[in-house]
Amino acid sequence: MPFLSLLLNILWVVTGGIWMAAGWLLAAVLMVITIVGIPWARSAFTIAWYTLLPFGQTAVRRDEFRGREDIGTGLLGTLGNILWFVLAGWWLALGHLVAAVGLAITIIGLPFAWAHLKLALLALWPVGTEI
């Protein structure tokens, strides 16, 4: 990991990134507990790690990354994203938005606010995304 990414990730964790990663982790655990949500739990665990250390990583659509569609990028992925949005996506996105507004108030927090906004979009529609 380049020095700048390492520095930004450390500042990210200190300025509250750990709490949103904990939110993603909580969502993943709740999905596993319900048994029905197990297909979404792996994605939530992966995004929890991405939320903990977002600098130096990128979230991209899986069909663009691999060059072909799969089950998560087609119709079933869309249905999965709709279900995710209803059950967990909106409150995770709301948490990222609140954190972004709080960080955007300060000039030094602008890069972190931007990262929270990207994570808020990911929270709304995560199925079919690769980190």
pLDDT digits (tens, 9 = 90+) for 11-44: 999 888 899 999 999 999 998 998 888 888 888 8
Which candidate, 10, 41, 9, places its Cα nearest to that of 26? Answer: 41
H-state helical runs in the chain = 3-12, 18-33, 38-52, 62-66, 75-84, 90-104, 110-124
Instruction: Measure CA 63 to chain center.
Output: 18
**What tens digit of pLDDT does each residue of 96-130 get?**
999 999 999 988 889 899 999 999 999 998 887 88
Name the β-bridge partners of 61: 129
Whole-structure pTM value: 0.85
